[in-house]
Amino acid sequence: MNLVNWSKKLRKTNIVDSELYKKYKVKADLCEIDGKDILARLTYKGRDINDLVNSFRFDSRYRYEEAAYLILMGEQPNKNELEEFVYIIGEFRVLSYEFIRDMIMGLPCKDLINVLSRSVLGLYSYDDLADDTSIENVLRQSLQLIAVFPLLAVYAYQAFQYQKGKTSLVIHTPSRELSTAENILYMLRYDKNYSKLEASILDLLLVLYAEYGGRDNSTLTTCVVTFSDTDMYSAISAALGSLKGSGHGENNIKVSDMFEDIKRSITDWKNKSQVSKYLEDILDRKAFDNKGRIYGMGHTLYTRTDSRYIILKNYVKKLAEEKGLQDEFELYELVEKLTPGLMRQKRNINKDISANVDFYSGFVYHMLGVPEELFKSLFAVSRVVVWLGYRLKYIVNNGKIINSLHGSVKLKREYINMKKRM
């Protein structure tokens, strides 16, 4: 691995013209939202997310690794660069027996984010250059964290299930030849088996949740802690501490629980009157958690539509057909269809109301056999790329990166297909 060359590229692609800070009073985002109040287009380093996702349909590549390269390095990799990046991630995807025994198996915990946070801090003791904040070293640490986060998440879940006496303890060593999404399913399942569609849709979710560009709580936490010039492991552990809170990264769990309550409470999932009455009861604080919210509908930033949800929905339908769960998918669609009208009626809301990515993601996880306890950990597996990207950008710009909720100076750039990249 040539960290020197990669670091030179990182410096070039992540540097921000100092005059732009004065002119726009904003930062250059990793993932930008085009428009202050209404989402027009979601981009990753200037590339439209729709182009990024749709391009993979033609060559069967997995998306997460390329998105990670784009966010960290600031540009699209060519074929050789992507292969080297994937190879390095595969080589780094290993934890020592002692670390697994002492940090994960020896101290299982019901809250997996706590285990992730503790484990990340524990990695400090295994890194001889833990406090070195040079770009080359932070890049090396970033690649290692991307590689081991799925292991930390899956092993933490398996350790706690074993402690509770619910399962036998079977730990699968990840495969260097598999993608991140494939390895998650490979390690999680007793028989290691999964379908191409299953791995592809999990891979897609990892890409879609690696967004926001600094507007979420955990990424802001990474920036704030990084500003103190602390070490990598302390910064990422702090981000995980932020993520543990119920106000961040938990919406798909709420959606899943809400639908389980709907299925228990009505007799005919296809009966519009029954479903509509139940949704009215939710809005009137008479059903589910009595908080008056239909989870997964609407978004504080994506006030018109969430492009991530639009991308995901087509894949959800295919997976539901593969799993024989078309009736449940149709229930989700019916709730999605009925909710906007009911919310306008009950809340006197005139603006557009759309589902967000959390609306279907919990359903996807259930179809994949991912336990609810792992939902937030997989969110961290995805979002850690953005945390690391911000840390690198801070170091490249000598601490002058400023987070803003109002915009980005990053220019929109054309997505270039792999065959045309030099």
Task: Indicate the CATH number of 251-367 among 3.40.50.2000, 1.10.230.10, 3.20.20.60, 3.30.420.40.
Answer: 1.10.230.10
* pLDDT value at residue 213: 54
CB 44 within 8 A of CB 72: no
* 255-308 pLDDT per residue, tens: 999 999 999 999 999 999 999 999 999 999 999 999 999 999 976 555 567 788
Share of the chain above pLDDT 70, in %: 86
* pLDDT value at residue 29: 46
Q: Which residues of the chain have pLDDT under 70?
A: 1, 16-41, 55-60, 212-214, 299-304, 400-411, 422
d(CA 161, CA 155): 10
* pLDDT value at residue 37: 39
Residue 14: burial class (beta carbons within 10 Å; 0-12, 13-18, 19+): buried
* pLDDT value at residue 12: 82
The b/e string for 69-103 (b: 16+ C-beta within 10 A; e otherwise) is bbbbbbbbbeeebbeebbebbbebbebeeebbeeb
* pLDDT value at residue 405: 45
What are the start and end residues of each CATH 1.10.230.10 domain in the chain? Answer: 251-367
Task: Indicate the CATH number of 31-245+372-420 among 1.10.580.10, 1.10.8.60, 2.40.30.70, 1.10.3720.10.
Answer: 1.10.580.10
* pLDDT value at residue 34: 46
* pLDDT value at residue 411: 61
Backbone angles phi, psi at 200, to 5 degrees: -65, -40
* pLDDT value at residue 416: 80
* pLDDT value at residue 47: 79
What are the start and end residues of each CATH 1.10.580.10 domain in the chain? Answer: 31-245+372-420
* pLDDT value at residue 404: 44
* pLDDT value at residue 400: 62
